Amino acid sequence: MIGLKKMLNPRVAAVVGVSTTNPFNPGNVIFRKLAFENGLPTYPINPKGGTVEGIAVHKSLTAAPNDIDLVVISVPAKYVPGILTECGEKNIKSVIVVSGGFSEVGEAGANLQSEIVDIANKYGITMVGPNCIGVFVPDVLDTFFLPSERVARPRRGNVAIISQSGGWLIERLEEFAGRDVGIAAAISIGNAAQTRVTDFVEYFGNDNRVDVILAYIEGFAPGEGRDFVEACEKIVPKKPIVVLKGGESEAGHRATQSHTSSLAGDHAITNAAFNQYGVIHALDEDEVMAYAKVFSFKPKPMKGSRVGTLTVSGGHGVIASDEAAQYGLLMPLFDKEQQASMRDMMTPEYQGIASFRNPCDLTGSASDIDYEKVLDQMLGFDTIDAALLLLLPYAPGISLQIGARVANVAKRHQKTVIAYVPDLEKYEVIIRGFELNGISVGDTIEEAVQMLNGIRMRSKYLQHAGVI
């Protein structure tokens, strides 16, 4: 773990594989980002020497100063063993190998990969890769060899992302940045030759700055799957672990073999194992986003699957009911006494036109005060475990302050509350009003329901495990 700690927060770095003639060389892109964008003291390395961006190039790691915490290697695969040996002899403990040409290309590459693993193990080096894009820690470190102007960078937050696919990881960063979900770190592990997803799960599991761990996994090496779920079992009582697993179809398995040369598994087996050990199994990228976002707000648990829904549009309530049914979430009908108690909370002029069966349609005449009072009443019912708020700000009585106002009502109750607000710039104040007060907002009804499903799955496991 010492190697990972230095890797994610180095004091000095080196990039092996810069070019003195090609500024677009991957090594040069990485060097510029580390040295200039991250402000990290970084030594460029090339046997030819010279200068890069006005900085003197060292001809080898051996010739460089002795204060290096992290080395990023971006050279043809055949040179990597020699450079790793230099790292070992120089007592450098953290290395990222972005170079490709290893197990993903066949037997010869697999043999070369085994060789660099042996070297790393011999010298006690923590190595990420090969065939990866490396590590991104907001405001600290960015080894991705993609120009910054082409890739969004999320703000600092509490979600750690680990991925066997660099491309998938880049797309998640774009999505997280667009949704203003902050991350603690993003790790591309590539072939995961030595340091594997389990190592990072264990590391982030003990990092107090991380509240959610998200992983994209294409497969496990023999025996690794059990190690992974057993490691997760120790962590999930403290924080949720969300996994999207590729390669579960026959076609996906074939694609996985040619991508990272890892062993894919059957969907049913994977799902059963994840459920047993408390891992939240995301089935697609929409669920990945929903679960990662909602858990970044550390939501209150759900005792069961019963959801009370408030809306100003009957049609949206119907859609929410259909979505909830697909996930096994229930919207139980409120009895006559409950309906009457909520109706009494409404503005008198609109009591007669509102419906309180569940979903509760407050109609387009509803105001902020109606939402507040009805929600407060509904959250007191012991027949529901969570509330879903479908906020359509088109209604004239709904103000831009409704998010903060309703969130303050939710704080008085020990039940989960999730909101849907259309993802439009003009409603940003409403969304921020919710989120600054700890309530996650879905930008579609489906996403809001998925958020509830993620909370329900985690709560169910924690109840079974006796944690809550």
CATH superfamily membership of 152-296: Succinyl-CoA synthetase domains (3.40.50.261)
Segments in 206-249 forming alpha helices (H):
224-235
The residues spanned by each domain of the chain are 1-130, 152-296, 300-464
Q: Name the band, by pLDDT with cuts 50, 70 and 90, for residue 414.
A: very high
User: Half-sphere exposure of 8 toward its Cβ, with a 13 Å CA cutoff?
Assistant: 18
Which pair of structure tokens corresponds to residue 146? 């993609």
Ramachandran region, residue 420 (left: φ > 0; alpha: ψ -120 to 50; beta: rest): beta
pLDDT at 395: 84
- Name the residue among 217, 273, 222, 213 with its Cα closest to residue 246: 217
pLDDT in tens, 74-111: 999 999 999 999 999 999 999 999 999 999 999 999 99
**In this structure, are residues 451 and 289 in contact, taking their beta carbons and an 8 Å threshold?**
no
Number of helices (H) and strands (E) in the chain: give both, helices first.
16, 19
Which pair of structure tokens corresponds to residue 74? 């971006």
**In this structure, are residues 261 and 164 in contact, taking their beta carbons and an 8 Å threshold?**
no
User: Residue 214: phi, psi to the nearest 5?
Assistant: -120, 130
Q: Is the pLDDT of residue 303 over 60?
A: yes
Q: Is the pLDDT of residue 264 over 80?
A: no
Measured CA to CA, the distance from residue 270 to residue 245 in angstroms comes to 8
Q: Is the pLDDT of residue 251 over 50?
A: no
pLDDT at 147: 84
DSSP 8-state code for residue 414: S
pLDDT at 267: 73
Instruction: Give the C-alpha distances (Å, rounded to integers) separating 37 from 54, 141, 174, 187, 338.
Output: 16, 9, 18, 18, 58
Q: Is the pLDDT of residue 262 over 80?
A: no
CATH of domain 300-464: 3.40.50.261
pLDDT in tens, 189-248: 999 999 999 999 999 999 999 999 999 999 888 888 999 999 999 999 999 999 999 855
Across-strand partners of 369?
Answer: none
Q: Name the band, by pLDDT with cuts 50, 70 and 90, for residue 336.
A: very high
pLDDT at 223: 85
Secondary structure of 36-52 in HEC code, one letter for each residue: HHCCCCEEEECCCCCEE
pLDDT at 132: 96
pLDDT in tens, 368-390: 999 999 999 999 999 999 999 99
Q: Name the band, by pLDDT with cuts 50, 70 and 90, for residue 138.
A: very high
- Name the residue among 366, 372, 377 with its Cα closest to residue 316: 366
pLDDT at 81: 98
Instruction: Give the C-alpha distances (Å, rounded to integers) separating 382 from 303, 449, 463.
Output: 10, 20, 18
Which pair of structure tokens corresponds to residue 197? 């997803």
Fold of 1-130: Rossmann fold (3.40.50)
Average pLDDT value over all residues in the chain: 93
Tell me if domain 152-296 and domain 300-464 are identical in fold. yes
Measured CA to CA, the distance from residue 355 to residue 343 in angstroms comes to 8
Average the pLDDT over 126-155 and give the result. 93
Total-model pTM: 0.92
Q: Is the pLDDT of residue 48 over 60?
A: yes
216-236 as b/e: b if 16+ CB within 10 A: bbbbbeeebbebbbebbbebb
pLDDT in tens, 401-412: 999 999 999 999
pLDDT in tens, 150-175: 888 999 999 999 999 999 999 999 99
Instruction: Give the C-alpha distances (Å, rounded to integers) separating 276 from 228, 288, 302, 462.
Output: 13, 19, 19, 11
**In this structure, are residues 85 and 62 in contact, taking their beta carbons and an 8 Å threshold?**
no
Q: Name the band, by pLDDT with cuts 50, 70 and 90, for residue 259.
A: very low
